[in-house]
Amino acid sequence: MKFNLKANLIWLGIMVAGFVLIDAAEFTGMVNTFIENAMVTVGINIILATGLNLIIGFAGQFSLGHAGFMAIGAYATGIMTQNMATPLGFWLSVAVGVVIAIIAAIIIGVPTLRLRGDYLAIATMGAAEIIRVVINNLKITNGPAGIFNIPQFATWPVVYVIMCITTIMIANFIHSRAGRAVMSVREDEIAASAMGINTTKWKLAAFVFGAATAAIGGSLHASYLQTIAPGDFGIMNSISLLIIVVLGGTGSLTGTVVAAGVLGVIDTVLQNFGTLRMVIYALALILIMVFKPSGLLGRWELSFKRVGTSKKKEVVDQ
Rounded distance between C-alpha atoms, residue 108 and residue 231, angstroms: 21
Residue from 95, 169, 262, 270 binding other proteins (CB under 8 A):
169
Give the relative orientation of helices 66-83 and 199-225 as an angle to the nearest 10 degrees: 50
x-marked contacts with other proteins along 31-60 as a string, rule CB under 8 A: -------------------------x----
Nearest to 182 by CA among 275, 51, 288: 51
CB of 95 to other proteins, least distance (A): 16
Of 59 and 127, the one with the shorter C-beta distance to other proteins is: 127
Amino acid at the residue 226: Q
User: Is residue 2 part of the contact set for other proteins (CB under 8 A)?
Assistant: no
What is the DSSP code string of 204-229?
A: HHHHHHHHHHHHHHHHHHHHHH--B-
Q: What share of the chain is helix, strand, coil (3-state, %, to 5)?
A: 75, 0, 25
Amino acid at the residue 128: A
User: Is residue 15 part of the contact set for other proteins (CB under 8 A)?
Assistant: no
Residue from 10, 235, 266, 302 binding other proteins (CB under 8 A):
235
CB of 5 to other proteins, least distance (A): 9
CB of 60 to other proteins, least distance (A): 10
Rounded distance between C-alpha atoms, residue 312 and residue 318, angstroms: 17
Total residues contacting other proteins (rule CB under 8 A)?
A: 75
Q: Which of residues 135-164 bind other proteins (CB under 8 A)?
A: 136-137
Residue from 106, 118, 157, 231 binding other proteins (CB under 8 A):
118
CB of 7 to other proteins, least distance (A): 11
Residue from 84, 92, 99, 239 binding other proteins (CB under 8 A):
239
Residue from 31, 80, 247, 296 binding other proteins (CB under 8 A):
247
Of 88 and 290, the one with the shorter C-beta distance to other proteins is: 290
Letter string b/e over residues 110-146, b meaning 16 or more CB atoms within 10 A of that residue's CB? eebbeeeeeebbebbbbbbbebbeebbeeeebbeeeb
Sign for the CA dihedral angle at 256, 239, 207, 93 comes to: positive
Secondary element (H or E) of residue 191: helix 189-194
Helix, coil or strand: residue 84: coil
User: Is residue 272 part of the contact set for other proteins (CB under 8 A)?
Assistant: no
Helix, coil or strand: residue 147: strand
User: Is residue 6 part of the contact set for other proteins (CB under 8 A)?
Assistant: no
User: Is residue 297 part of the contact set for other proteins (CB under 8 A)?
Assistant: no
8 A C-beta contact, residue 195 and residue 185: no
Of 272 and 275, the one with the shorter C-beta distance to other proteins is: 275
User: Is residue 281 part of the contact set for other proteins (CB under 8 A)?
Assistant: yes
Of 4 and 227, the one with the shorter C-beta distance to other proteins is: 4
8 A C-beta contact, residue 223 and residue 77: yes
Q: Which of residues 172-201 bind other proteins (CB under 8 A)?
A: 172-173, 176-178, 180-181, 183-184, 187-188, 190-199
Of 25 and 270, the one with the shorter C-beta distance to other proteins is: 270
User: Is residue 129 part of the contact set for other proteins (CB under 8 A)?
Assistant: yes
